[in-house]
Amino acid sequence: MKIAKVIVDVPVMQTNRPFDYEIPRAMTPLIQKGLRVVVSFGKGNRLLQGYVVDIVDKQAVSTPLKPIVDIIDLEPVLTPELLELSDWLAKSTYAFRITCLQTILPGVMRGSYDKVVHVLQPDYPQLPTFLKQAAPVVLDDQVGKSELAALLKLRQAGVIRFEYQVHNKAKIKTQRAIMLSQSAESLLQQAQALPERLKKQKELLHYLARQTADADFVWVKTVQSLFSASVLKTALKHQLITIKALEVKRRVLPDKRVAEAPRQLLPDQKRAVAAIDQATNNKLAKVFLVEGVTGSGKTEVYLQTMQRALDLNKSALMLVPEIALTPQMVQRVFQRFGNQVAVLHSGLSEGEKYDEWRRIREGKAKVVVGARSAVFAPLENIGIIIMDEEHEYSYKQEDTPRYHARNVAIHRAAYHHCPLVLGSATPSLESRARAQKGVYQLLRLPTRVNQAPLPKVQIIDMRENIEQHQTLDFSRALSDAISVRLAKKEQSVLMLNRRGFSSFVMCRDCGYVVKCPNCDISLTLHMDTHTLKCHYCGHEEPIPKKCPNCHSNKIRYYGTGTEKVEKELQEMYPKARIIRMDVDTTRKKGAYGRLLKAFGDGQADILLGTQMIAKGLDFPNVTLVGVINADTALGLPDFRASERTFQLLTQVAGRAGRGAKKGEVIIQTYNPDHYAIQLAKSQDYEKFFRTEMNIRHQGNYPPYYFTVRLACSDPEENKAAKAAFSILKLLQPGLSQKAIILGPSPRAIARIKNRYYYQIIVKYKQEPKLAQTLDHILNLTQKSNYRQLQISIDQEPLQFM
DNA sequence: AGCACGCCGACT
DNA sequence: GTCGGCGTGCTC
């Protein structure tokens, strides 16, 4: 007997394994691995969506199995590769298998459920009024607790019955079309044969005869503009025409394109392309790190190596961070590869995503460009994977499954025996260190394609500014530079670093930031307790009244908002046209693109924004880039603070002087001597890498150590704390002496949604028993007395707060 | 998650 | 005595 192993849609620890189901005889020829099915589950026999992950032979079983109720898909939605990937993902991120399956597939594939009440005894006296009707009633999502209790009682009394329905949200969009199954001649013949009085019918047939020249069908929608609905109805009645519902794929990319040919390569680019092509040709799962300054032509290297994969009749996957931010990039890929390109990103509607996904699944799209989740694109026979801006933090998903797209890409590249190309001007330290060790192959592109010099970067010491200038946010140098641009009708981009707003304490005289004595990490300000806390080890101290370094009393929390700066700017330059871009002004869909376009069209003189303006913008008329506060990220309680600051400043500096005119960059800071700022000024990534590696080495941080974060939360604070300590007890025996455990400590925002959070961070190099221990902890904490306790594990977290 | 079973307190 | 509260365990 064949048995189907099914992962059911119940995301809890206890059901995180396949369940066996009988395959009814009628389904035997249809059933396959990777299909979605409907199964009945639990005592109430409620219907759930499930995924067939395996089909096995099994001899007669002692307890009878439930049969599969229904098959949802005709073709498997998951390839064997993606099935394996979901298993690997679940194991490596400590997430439920079902959650991983749902992450891999487009959102519409997730089952939606309805609870329907059928009334069995319509004349029952205490029947609630809303049930006193003939038809079954669909319960809405928010049925009150007491209401539900009453309904359960009625069910027990046999008055009503529940029915669970599973819906497939994945709908194929169709449009009605008149099929042109006959030749033009036969249509005209039919028209001839019609009696004279059917004038409109004759006209219709003549019209259709003309269309047969270049199509198999005509949309009803277009015909309706020429003929009325009743004409079509008559024609249909007389069987002169047939109408079918044809699928229309929601398309994301335009129909037309300006085809673009490959560009000439510089020697460095040529070398890089050759090295990558060699891996593609020889089916080597090598990882390359392309380290190229802004404007060095990384994109051209990507495009040409992707072309190589296509030439070998393979597919290509290209990951771009937050794709909405770089429409130029998508455009360029489209111009090169045309209709075989599919785009996947969060800006698409569910339906659009589904259609693009199916074009990939059906093999119609061989090139995929997309953001983080596109790493799961159902491509087969992948010849190359590209990951642009590999250092970007948006590649890490912040909620379950907490995966990093880079790791998924590495896994898929290994499966497909194809190269993975990581590209960045400022690679993550993890990747650059791996290249150093020879795990990845480093390909450097040190020169700019157009030979343009890097913009001149000037650093302004804001500590001096306080005395000289009354406005705190603008130095004389920056305001003068803005005035010059306004006079010359050139544009300025001003960036306000909002990360870490008001959350740390800094001395305005010397730039000193209070750090944890144990962890060498900035302390975070907690206004509720009026203390400074370390989020790593839990160290706590009072807020200093005087700067411990220079004894000034100008030590206070630090931060500035975009609105305030905009007001200041407007006062300084009443005639300047300013576009402000922050979370508030870009919340609406499409607002981001609209504002950028307005700026690109020259409708404003100054673009003021948060870090979102640092990425990928390319406006030739921008000759000044100002960073109003370079420090805020440095103050974050995060060992990656320097790295983030360096990356951000380097990136934003690249926005200046993209066109023919020379660019200038002004960075305002209270830490002018900080290496991250100094090295951003000289745009010297390699030196930054060496300096920062040293610091990481001394502090036992990545990439010298791996990290894992265990967080637990409970509505009751003492329970959360107690749980954290029992987790610690469970953890310790599974670790060697060399592992470093930090915490348990309360998280920065101790209470979110009425839950208290505690966390433990483990730093380690080699811990063979760690994964097993973590699984054990997950299993135990589910069964323990802590019913309300939630526990999460984040491998290599990027956010430690 | 959702359901049943089962064991204790306050009601007809 | 029993109704119903929720704590506990199971779902092919």
Q: How far in angstroms lies nucleotide C4's C1' from the CA of residue A735? A: 48
The domains spanning A2-110 and A456-498+562-696 adopt the same CATH topology? no
Q: Which residues touch strand C (CB under 7 A)?
A: A 10, 12, 14-15, 19-22, 40-43, 65-66, 149, 153, 783, 785, 787
Q: Which residues 6+ apart lie within 8 Å of A399 measured at CB?
A: none
Looking at strand C, which nucleotides approach a protein CB closer than 7 A? 4-5, 7-12
Q: How far in angstroms lies nucleotide B11's C1' from the CA of residue A549? A: 71
Least confident of A5-9, A187-191, A745-749: A745-749
* Per-residue pLDDT band at A130 (split at 50, 70, 90): confident
pLDDT the model gives residue A288 = 98
Q: How far in angstroms lies nucleotide C4's C1' from the CA of residue A43? A: 21
Q: How far in angstroms lies nucleotide B7's C1' from the CA of residue A518? A: 51
Q: Distance between CA atoms of A657 and A618, rounded to whole angstroms? A: 9
Q: Distance between CA atoms of A216 and A425, rounded to whole angstroms? A: 50
- Would the Cβ of A12 be found within 7 angstroms of any atom in strand B? yes
pLDDT the model gives residue A500 = 41
- Provide the token pair at A471: 């406005």
Please tell me which residue lies nearest to nucleotide B1, judged from CA to C1': A10
- Would the Cβ of A140 be found within 7 angstroms of any atom in strand B? no
Q: How far in angstroms lies nucleotide C9's C1' from the CA of residue A780? A: 15
- Would the Cβ of A158 be found within 7 angstroms of any atom in strand B? no
Q: What is the pLDDT of residues A699-729, one digit of tens each?
A: 999 999 999 999 988 877 888 888 899 899 9
pLDDT the model gives residue A469 = 54
Annotation-wise, does A507 bind a ligand?
Answer: yes
Written as one string, the DSSP assignment of A96-138 is -HHHHHHHHS-GGGS-EEEEEEEES-TT-TT--GGG-SSS-EE
Domain coordinates of chain A in residue numbers? 2-110, 113-168, 174-247, 267-445, 456-498+562-696, 504-558, 706-795
Strand order of the β-sheet with A68-71 is A19-22, A2-8, A46-57, A36-41, A68-71
Q: Which residues from the 29-48 window of protein chain A have CB within 7 angstroms of nucleic acid chain B?
A: 42-44, 46
SS3 content of chain A, % helix, strand, coil (to 5): 35, 25, 40
Q: How far in angstroms lies nucleotide B4's C1' from the CA of residue A71? A: 29
Given a cut of 50, whether residue A518 has pLDDT beyond it is: yes
Mean pLDDT taken over chain A: 86
Q: How far in angstroms lies nucleotide B4's C1' from the CA of residue A712? A: 30
pLDDT the model gives residue A38 = 95
Q: Give the nearest nucleotide to A67, CA to C1'.
A: C12
Q: Give the nearest nucleotide to A155, CA to C1'.
A: B3
Residue ranges of E strands in A215-305: 217-219, 242-247, 287-292
Q: Distance between CA atoms of A447 and A462, rounded to whole angstroms? A: 33
Given a cut of 90, whether residue A73 has pLDDT beyond it is: yes
Q: Distance between CA atoms of A300 and A402, rounded to whole angstroms? A: 31
Q: Which CATH superfamily is domain A2-110 in?
A: PriA, 3(prime) DNA-binding domain (3.40.1440.60)
Amino acid at A544: P
Annotation-wise, does A712 bind a ligand?
Answer: no
**Would you say domain A456-498+562-696 falls under CATH 3.40.50.300?**
yes
Annotation-wise, does A534 bind a ligand?
Answer: yes
Cα separations in angstroms, A796 against A289, A400, A513, A706:
20, 13, 26, 7
pTM for the whole thing? 0.86
Annotation-wise, does A537 bind a ligand?
Answer: yes
Q: Distance between CA atoms of A107 and A96, rounded to whole angstroms? A: 17
Q: What is the pLDDT of residues A49-66, one digit of tens each?
A: 999 999 998 776 667 899
Least confident of A652-656, A708-712, A717-721, A763-767: A652-656
pLDDT average, residue stretch A567-582: 86
* Per-residue pLDDT band at A502 (split at 50, 70, 90): very low
First to last CA, chain A: 52
pLDDT the model gives residue A345 = 84
Q: How far in angstroms lies nucleotide C6's C1' from the CA of residue A756? A: 24
Annotation-wise, does A516 bind a ligand?
Answer: yes
* Per-residue pLDDT band at A155 (split at 50, 70, 90): confident
Q: Distance between CA atoms of A135 and A499, rounded to whole angstroms? A: 55
Looking at strand B, which nucleotides approach a protein CB closer than 7 A? 1-4
Q: Which residues 6+ apart lie within 8 Å of A146 measured at CB?
A: none
Q: Give the nearest nucleotide to A10, CA to C1'.
A: B1
Given a cut of 70, whether residue A102 has pLDDT beyond it is: yes
Given a cut of 80, whether residue A536 has pLDDT beyond it is: no
H/E run at residue A201 = helix A199-211
Q: Distance between CA atoms of A364 and A667, rounded to whole angstroms? A: 48
Q: Distance between CA atoms of A786 and A310, rounded to whole angstroms? A: 54
pLDDT average, residue stretch A630-640: 77
pLDDT the model gives residue A64 = 85
pLDDT the model gives residue A707 = 96
Domain at A706-795: CATH architecture: 2-Layer Sandwich (3.30)
Q: Please tell me which residue, A675 or A237, carries the higher pLDDT value.
A: A675
Q: Please tell me which residue, A130 or A89, carries the higher pLDDT value.
A: A89
Given a cut of 90, whether residue A653 has pLDDT beyond it is: no
* CATH code of domain A267-445: 3.40.50.300
Give the burial string for A486-495 (b: 16+ CB within 10 Å, else e): beeebbbbbb
Q: Distance between CA atoms of A309 and A318, rounded to whole angstroms? A: 12
Residues above pLDDT 90, as percent of chain A:
42
Cα separations in angstroms, A800 against A391, A395, A630, A682, A794:
17, 16, 21, 29, 10
- Would the Cβ of A602 be found within 7 angstroms of any atom in strand B? no
